[in-house]
Amino acid sequence: MDTNELLSHAIKARRNSYSPYSNFSVGAAVYACGKIYEGCNIENASYGLTMCAERVAIFKAVSDGCRKIEKIAIFASSMPYPCGACLQVMEEFCSEDCEVIIATPEKMEKYKLKDLLPHPFSKDAL
């Protein structure tokens, strides 16, 4: 999957963000099972019920039957590093070498999941 194509889907997904409280709109796109799944952050007045763009995109893929995320792109106005909850969900559905692209209009960084979450809690610990 071409990085620029996946990033363009994250940029497009960001347009659907519902972020009236933080005014921080985020878009994400994941490549899984030969398809691209988009997601945006969705806030709630009860902040604990807010859902990050990465998890929305991953859950869309999983609900479509895809259990192996191959690549992820995340886009926002400032660097949208994934939160701990998103990294833990990535751990469940990605390999440690899954590429995670984090971008703004001015900058793009690429990581492997293992670099962002070096000591995950995994199903092997159960």
- pLDDT value for 122: 83
> In this structure, what CATH number is given to the domain that contains residue 33?
3.40.140.10
Active-site residue identified among 54, 70, 91, 99: 54
Q: Cα dihedral angle (22, 37, 79, 101), rounded to 10 degrees? A: 170
What are the C-alpha distances in Å from 108 to residues 1, 20, 35, 111? 16, 26, 22, 10
C-alpha to C-alpha distance for 81 and 87, rounded to whole angstroms: 10
Look up 54 and say whether it is catalytic: yes
**What domain count does the chain have?**
1
52 lies in which domain range? 3-125
pLDDT digits (tens, 9 = 90+) for 8-66: 999 999 999 999 999 999 999 999 999 999 999 999 999 999 999 999 999 999 999 99
Residue 96 has pLDDT above 90, yes or no: no
